[in-house]
Amino acid sequence: MNRVLQIVTVPFALVVVMILASPVAIGEVQPSDIQPPSTSTPMPGASTKQSPASANQTNALASTAMVILRKNCLNCHNAEKKKGELILESREALLKGGENGPVVVPGKASESRMAQFLLPDADPHMPPKKQLTDEQVATMRAWIDDGAKWDGKALAETNVILHASNLRALPTSYQPVLAIALSSDGKKLAVGHANQIWVYDVGQTNHSILGKLEAHRDVVQSLAWSPDGKWLASGGYRRILLWDAQGMKQSLEITNLIGRVTALDFTPDSTTLIAADGAETRSGLVGVWAVGEIAPKATWTAHNDTVLDLKVSSDGKLLATASVDKLVKLWELSTGKEIARLEGHSGHVLALAFKPDGSLLASGSADKEIKVWDIKTKEQKITIGRHPGGVNDLAWTSDGKKIVSGCEDGAVRLSDEAKDNPEKTFNTATDMLYAIAVTPDAKTVYAGCHDGMVYVWGTDGTLKEKLGGQNSDKKLAAQ
Ligand code: HEC
């Protein structure tokens, strides 16, 4: 009878099942998503009628407050450390207070010491060496005013479902998009927004968000889909996460890395993951993992400085690495043996792309040039100049016809491997582009920008859409 109600109800039930079934599930951003992860068991099917808006807001407030506590306070205020004799791991402990007595008066933020300590000029100031954003402080005050309700699940989980209402507390619009990755079928676009990964359904014209993974504690540096579409790998500071693409669940965490994981790629058969790691300005390491294993099969020092990009050739035999040391190197992937050293750039080499047939490799550099190398002869074939800034990312269209570059000046350019200047420059984005991806049909280019947005261009150069940041907040709010 009521189609709308049905459509809304089904995904809600699904989301609830996901929340209950898995601590690391992520939610689909659906209208029902204003339902927060509740600790009580909601009754599927009855969802849209019940839960008046005020109850939703309360629970969203509690879960947002819990995320703020977990990220900013729990380190020092847990059962083990209890700084100031204050434990913030349960509502009982919070109400008990610290060495100087109660810290919150539920319902009265203005009379709560905890709320006062969050203000910029407070003494003592909490957290001691950091200032929460105005929005976070406002959230904490609103939460106390609302009775300091508890959400133990949100407090405990490191991968809680993020809700549209919670997201407003995060400065999503000011975070540069350093990494994007398009699945090989061209249907899912993963985008690093600060420490989260947003996965867009770009197979559909409305580009809805399939999920938001609260992935890393810091900025997502690198992303890659396995060619078979089963895995998404993400790299942050000293951490690689492997996500099961089907359920959008974290499946594996690789730690014990040395520094930022600046680049990731899979072999064409999807069995092997390769990552760039290393101590900034000192070493550029390459690590090779059998997918699913935590211990690497091999690691080696590929460069004496940070490796900024790496790519596996389409036959899976060669690995190319690009580094701050201005070099591009080719490696035999199975042995880690250096095959060639491609010298020519006069700046950091920032990006690499193999031509799909494996005959050529393009490299982009801070020297504002693209160089195209012949894989057989290891010789430089051509230099494609006239970029006004560094070439931050490169892709080769799957038909092999065009090299697509994302540049510091905010422009995407199309180049031909045989011509020494770019053929076409798209309307520029407002700021530097860090990462690009091209659809398999070579018709659409996605580019992650410093302004926190993903720009979507047709290969004719027209700007079709911008994804992320405030735009998508508006989209979410409108739902
Ligand atoms: C780096 C450690 C650290 C972090 C992080 C931290 N605190 Fe504290 N907190 C302390 C210490 C130490 C004290 C004892 C007072 C002092 O010496 O400044 C304290 C005291 C307090 C007190 C007063 C207890 C009393 O009875 O006097 C409150 C309230 C408090 N913290 C709340 C918070 C909140 C809320 C956060 C997160 C937004 C937070 N703290 C984050 C270390 C920390």
Could you write out the DSSP letters of every residue in 121-143?
Answer: T-SS-SSTT----HHHHHHHHHH
Residue to mutate, 70, 78, 83, 114, ligand 1, most ligand atoms under 8 Å from C-beta = 83
190: its two tokens: 């993963």
Dump pLDDT digits (tens) for 427-463: 788 888 999 999 999 999 999 998 889 999 999 999 9
Q: Which residue has the higher pLDDT, 182 or 236?
A: 182
For residue 102 and ligand 1, the question of a CB distance below 6 A is answered with no
Q: What is the pLDDT of residue 56?
A: 54
Q: Of all atoms in ligand 1, which is nearest to the CA of residue 130? A: 5
Residue to mutate, 66, 78, 86, 113, ligand 1, most ligand atoms under 8 Å from C-beta = 86
87: its two tokens: 């434990």
Q: Using pLDDT thresholds of 50, 70 and 90, give the confidence band for residue 59.
A: confident
The rounded Å distance from CA 380 to ligand 1 centre is 59
For the ranges 32-46, 158-172, 260-274, 377-391, the lowest mean pLDDT is seen at 32-46
Give me the chain's average pLDDT, please: 83
Helix (H, G, I), strand (E, B) or coil at 24: coil
Dump pLDDT digits (tens) for 194-246: 888 999 999 988 888 998 998 887 789 999 999 999 999 999 988 999 999 99
Tell whether the model's pLDDT for residue 153 goes beyond 70: yes
The average pLDDT across 162-170 equals: 37
The closest residue, in CA terms, to atom 21 on ligand 1 is 84
Helix (H, G, I), strand (E, B) or coil at 95: helix
The average pLDDT across 331-356 equals: 97
Q: What is the pLDDT of residue 156?
A: 77
Q: What is the pLDDT of residue 269?
A: 97
User: 140 forms bridges with which residues in the sheet?
Assistant: none
Q: Which residue has the higher pLDDT, 340 or 205?
A: 340
Q: Residue 72: what are its φ and ψ, rounded to 5°?
A: -120, -15
User: SS3 string of 215-237?
Assistant: CCCCCCCEEEECCCCCEEEEEEE
The rounded Å distance from CA 434 to ligand 1 centre is 38
Beta carbons of 35 and 28 less than 8 angstroms apart: no
Q: What is the pLDDT of residue 258?
A: 85
- DSSP output for 407-454: ETTS-EEEE-TT-SS-SEEPPPPSS-EEEEEE-TTS-EEEEEETTS-E
* Selection from 394, 268, 370 nearest residue 319 by Cα: 268
Residue to mutate, 95, 117, 143, 155, ligand 1, most ligand atoms under 8 Å from C-beta = 117
The helix (H) or strand (E) run that includes residue 287 is strand 284-290
The closest residue, in CA terms, to atom 20 on ligand 1 is 84
Tell whether the model's pLDDT for residue 465 goes beyond 60: yes
Model's pTM, two decimal places? Answer: 0.60
Q: What is the distance of C-alpha 203 from the center of its chain?
A: 20
Beta carbons of 154 and 160 less than 8 angstroms apart: yes
Tell which phi-psi region holds residue 107, choosing left (phi > 0), alpha (psi between -120 and 50) or beta. left
Helix (H, G, I), strand (E, B) or coil at 109: helix
- Give me the numbers of helices (H) and strands (E) for the chain, helices first please: 8, 28
The rounded Å distance from CA 64 to ligand 1 centre is 19
Would the CA dihedral through 177, 183, 186, 189 be positive or negative? negative
Q: Using pLDDT thresholds of 50, 70 and 90, give the confidence band for residue 64.
A: confident
The rounded Å distance from CA 74 to ligand 1 centre is 10
The average pLDDT across 281-285 equals: 84
The average pLDDT across 340-356 equals: 97
Cα-trace Rg, the chain: 24
Q: Of all atoms in ligand 1, which is nearest to the CA of residue 100? A: 26
In the chain the domains, ranked by start, together with CATH numbers, are 3-34+51-156 (no CATH), 175-478 (2.130.10.10)
Residue 419, classified by CB atoms within 10 Å of its CB into exposed (0-12), middle (13-18) or buried (19+), is exposed
244: its two tokens: 């099961």
